Amino acid sequence: MKDKVFITGATGFVGANLVRLLLKENYQVKALVRKNSNLSNVQNLDIELIEGSLNDQNLAEKMTDCDYLFHVAAHYSLWLKDKDLLYQNNVLGTRNILNCAKKAGIKRTVYTSSVSAIGLRKDGILTDENYQSPVENLIGNYKKSKYYAEQEAHLAGKNGQDIVIVNPSTPIGEFDIKPTPTGEIIVRFLTDNMPGFVDTGLNFIDVEDVAKGHILALEKGKTGERYILGNENLTLQKFLEKLALITGKKAPKIKFPLWLPLTVAFFDEYVLTKLGKTPSVAVEGVKMSAQFMYYDSSKAIKELGLPQTNIDQAIDRSVKWFLNHQKS
């Protein structure tokens, strides 16, 4: 057996894929899971589950028998009401677990940030790891929380911890249990609940490549560096056309002007919530779609050997997984 790793976020999308690859590569795995977590993504896996949360003060004790830490867990929400929760989990939680990792003598940490923390250039050049958007230009509390969480990782590194940062773009594949916003697009497509789209774009990557990127960062990454884990830049329209080819369904043809979903989102968040109803469209999510979130992953490809699996394969596996696991 290889060394033992401590992982947060094992029950989530990226974490579930990472755990499986760690086991395949003969690492021993201990996973931190929250009380009442949905454990379906880690059922029947040969891992040790430890109940707790990111802000627990006794995490160092739980990590003492581990060599490495993968801090993958994060709270994801685009709802305005979740601002404080995002800060507590993503920023303070990251600060606490990194402090505990230092006390526990963890040799190296791989921290899962996001391209959301980097932001986007405005000069037409593809965004890479050398760029950093001013935090005030990042859209929404989630992106800001990931920026501040990444600063905690940088600070811990400056204070002597061996930390490598990875910034996944938009993963596609199995075990998207919640689902993610992109997984939600696939679900809507499969259930004929997507009449149109907005003019936006994303950088997509096979979630299994993201998992491999984490292990490569552990084994080859340079201390203090960050690596964008991404692959192909695609418009949302092109992504939907790929879905159509794979599923045999028709891709939506209507391109919505941005003001339309933005109006719906404002009504949802500022009117429906006050009436005690659950909103369906987040204002921050619509604002994000005004940007083409394209990134350059060449650093991770060159320095880590990040795989670049054809996105069509990832979409195909994702479709099959949702068809088997999601209720229509």
User: How does DSSP assign 165-230, residue by residue?
Assistant: EEEE-EEESS---S--HHHHHHHHHHTT---EE-S-EEEEEEHHHHHHHHHHHHHHPPTT-EEEE-
What confidence score (pLDDT) does residue 132 get?
A: 96
The two tokens of residue 26 are: 């003969």
292 falls in which pLDDT band (50, 70, 90)? confident
Domains of the chain, first to last: 4-177+205-233+294-312 (3.40.50.720)
Tens-place pLDDT, residues 12-38: 999 999 999 999 999 999 999 999 899
Tokens representing 232 are 């192909």
* pLDDT higher than threshold 90 for residue 107: yes
> Running DSSP on this structure, what letter comes out for residue 139?
-
Hey, CA dihedral for 184, 187, 188, 189, is it positive or negative? positive
Q: 274: pLDDT confidence band, cut at 50, 70 and 90?
A: low
> In sequence order, what are the residues at sequence separation of 6 or more whose Cβ sits closer than 8 angstroms to the Cβ of residue 257?
none
The pLDDT of residue 325 is 86
What local confidence, expressed as pLDDT, does residue 283 receive?
45
Q: Is the pLDDT at 88 greater than 70, yes or no?
A: yes
Q: Percentage of the chain surpassing pLDDT 90?
A: 72
Tell me: pLDDT of 96 over 80: yes
| 275 — pLDDT class (breaks 50, 70, 90) | low
Nearest to 170 by CA among 137, 209, 140: 209
Note the pTM of the prediction, 2 decimals.
Answer: 0.91
CA torsion, points 175, 177, 183, 184, in degrees to nearest 10? 160
